[in-house]
Structure 1
């Protein structure tokens, strides 16, 4: 059945089936089309497209003719059948499963979403983080993305990415390896596998997580569709983390969309000599927050009290010494024995106090006596040098 054969009496043109038609007609992110739906309603937009009369406001004659041609070729019931064959469903704005945060996109909001997988998209999106980055990533970037995503999954967060090569794939694999939840937002139909090299990964996500897309079954990706897909990733999640991105990386579009929507934006730093991290570093010079692991991401996007642990170096035995003993230890010469008078002067204490502390330090193995002078033991010398010249 074509769109032209669909009966308005059934209510389908103005309801879900009408939106399925519009998914074939209006490109993702088309704000003019979104405005038509908001101002005139789905039923009226579909009716006027099928009638092929005067263009709706904002459409040139040539563009309107192209949209009319698309509408007349649409087969909404066939699209629904193709989706059903791969275990997918069509979710409309206002449905119980619709993630309401997508409404923040306003007229650029998806007409609807094709969802493949068993979990409820709305519930998963409530506690989700986007992890995106370069397709041509380094081993460092892939490792960081996988480790960070695994950490997020272990703490009950859903990892959202684009199913692409590089950072996207590493993020999905990290979440799956931790037996966690992940969502791939595609720039093609959810029945297609793109990129082909990630076929096994996409199938695994469909089994254990969710595959989501705006385009109807069978539709192919284009460069512009990849960029527009990124706004959905940004809107769907509480925040976006970029792990490696060159200055012209498409993943930066996700961050820009997240910033426009008021979402949290984060970046993982890399070597300053790496072109793959140049775009991330530029973000970090602006409004993005530097993060290095899942705990720091959760501290930003999570609820009150979900704080990252304070970063501290290892506690060394000398850290447990009393301040007076630490002062005497620090006053000993590093390469020779020293007299008590010199040590007391360096520690800003009396001679008797210095002697008492030196005997205490000897009992702990830090110093040894050489006649009337005192010297650091070899073990203490290494310890003190590392304190004086930390890396």
Structure 2
């Protein structure tokens, strides 16, 4: 039995709690639960909801509920005082906070998860302003230049409009969203699948430090916990629940981002997706969201703000610059002769990556098309306007 007296609890959570929060005993009990169970454990969630975190721990050994007895078999191996102390010590070392339901900093949006809501959260950084709208922008790790360009534009414009950008800190679309929100001086929040003291992926350690300095890095798993496939999937429900709307920016047919989209649909959160070229496997998942989940077609931050019910789109961060660059791009193309993306970049004087992004936008607008061999050419004006040529 892990000791649950008041003095032990206060000593255990010292340095991890702010003033005016719930009792140290309740916080400590929830920290214990955080170590015992995997994220989203419904049996634990129902037991705590019925008896409270402290009494629920006492019920583990004495409960006659067959479901609880079966769950005890998977909880017991982790029920050692040393494991809990190690998690709490690791949290103190990295400057994390322990946040539990009832605290002023608790994200009440997560309560919509019911029995599968987190029993406790660990946070590096500041609490999110509950009054600010929040949007989850998610997508594939194996992203394209087009996807990252759209993600950055959406995140920057939304952040400039005062929207908190939420994502999972992964490579690809997630990272592009976090970086753009930070560059725009806005707020961004990352949810990790492992402990907040274990930056993952390692290549985003500096990015996560930046997020923690101006926003927040959250995790349901205690410090020291490693990310696993299950924890990534379970983490996605928190991203969906924490947000007022979810947008899939770029995702393949079987992308994990569709798991986040499914959680959003279940929770009744507005769901959108950015369309891509119909020939692009990297956007097949987005097209599934539009078709199977009745998602909103998102082409700009204005579409996302409309999903939130927020009036007036923000002024595009770089509309004039993009217009000038697009003009150079189109000047480098021909309606009769197809040209490779590299050739277009050379002729326009644009960086290859910038040219690829602008070609993607121009294709969405119907101004250019790509041949079967990958060559680009302009589209006749009557076809671009949707009239028969």
Give the match for residue 327 of structure 1.
none
In structure 2, list runs of 5 or more residues that go unmatched: 11-23, 316-379
Give the match for residue 67 of structure 2.
58
Q: CA RMSD in A?
A: 2.3
Partner Cα distance (1:53, 1:389) in 2: 71
Partner Cα distance (1:389, 1:84) in 2: 59
Contact 2:98-2:120 within 8 A present in 1 as well: yes
Q: Compared with structure 1, are the counterparts of its residues 78 and 56 closer, same or farther at alpha carbon in structure 2 (3 Å cutoff)?
A: farther
**Structure 1 residue 289 and structure 2 residue 300: aligned?**
no
Instruction: Please state how far the C-alpha of 1:126 moved relative to its aligned partner.
Output: 3.8
Superposed, 1:32-111 pairs within 5 Å as: 32-49=43-60, 52-53=61-62, 56-61=65-70, 63-73=71-81, 75-111=83-119
Instruction: Please state how far the C-alpha of 1:218 moved relative to its aligned partner.
Output: 0.7
Give the match for residue 329 of structure 2.
none
Give the match for residue 300 of structure 1.
307
Contact 1:90-1:114 within 8 A present in 2 as well: yes
C-alpha offsets along residues 163-201 of structure 1, whole Å, 9 cap, x if unaligned?
A: 101111111011011111100000000010111111121
C-alpha offsets along residues 103-155 of structure 1, whole Å, 9 cap, x if unaligned?
A: 100000000111101x222x157411000001101111011111110011111
Contact 1:135-1:166 within 8 A present in 2 as well: yes
Which of residues 90, 109, 114 in structure 1 aligns to 2:122? 114
In structure 1, list runs of 5 or more residues that go unmatched: 310-384
Contact 1:296-1:308 within 8 A present in 2 as well: no
SS of corresponding position for 2:224: coil
Partner Cα distance (2:253, 2:8) in 1: 51
Which of residues 247, 259, 263 in structure 1 aligns to 2:265? 259
Superposed, 1:332-347 pairs within 5 Å as: none
Instruction: Please state how far the C-alpha of 1:306 moved relative to its aligned partner.
Output: 3.6
Give the match for residue 179 of structure 2.
173
**Structure 1 residue 24 and structure 2 residue 35: aligned?**
yes
Partner Cα distance (2:67, 2:302) in 1: 47
Give the match for residue 249 of structure 1.
255
Return the TM-score normalized by structure 1. 0.73
Give the match for residue 152 of structure 2.
146
Give the match for residue 335 of structure 1.
none
Based on CA coordinates, which of the two structures has the bigger radius of gyration? 1
Contact 2:190-2:217 within 8 A present in 1 as well: yes
Partner Cα distance (1:134, 1:388) in 2: 32
Partner Cα distance (1:272, 1:198) in 2: 31
Give the match for residue 4 of structure 1.
2
Q: Compared with structure 1, are the counterparts of its residues 26 and 219 closer, same or farther at alpha carbon in structure 2 (3 Å cutoff)?
A: same
SS of corresponding position for 2:273: strand
Return the TM-score normalized by structure 2. 0.74
Give the match for residue 162 of structure 1.
168
Partner Cα distance (1:148, 1:179) in 2: 14
Contact 1:80-1:89 within 8 A present in 2 as well: no
Partner Cα distance (2:93, 2:80) in 1: 24
Contact 1:238-1:264 within 8 A present in 2 as well: yes
Partner Cα distance (1:72, 1:53) in 2: 18
Give the match for residue 218 of structure 1.
224
Partner Cα distance (2:262, 2:111) in 1: 17
SS of corresponding position for 2:246: strand
Contact 1:126-1:237 within 8 A present in 2 as well: no
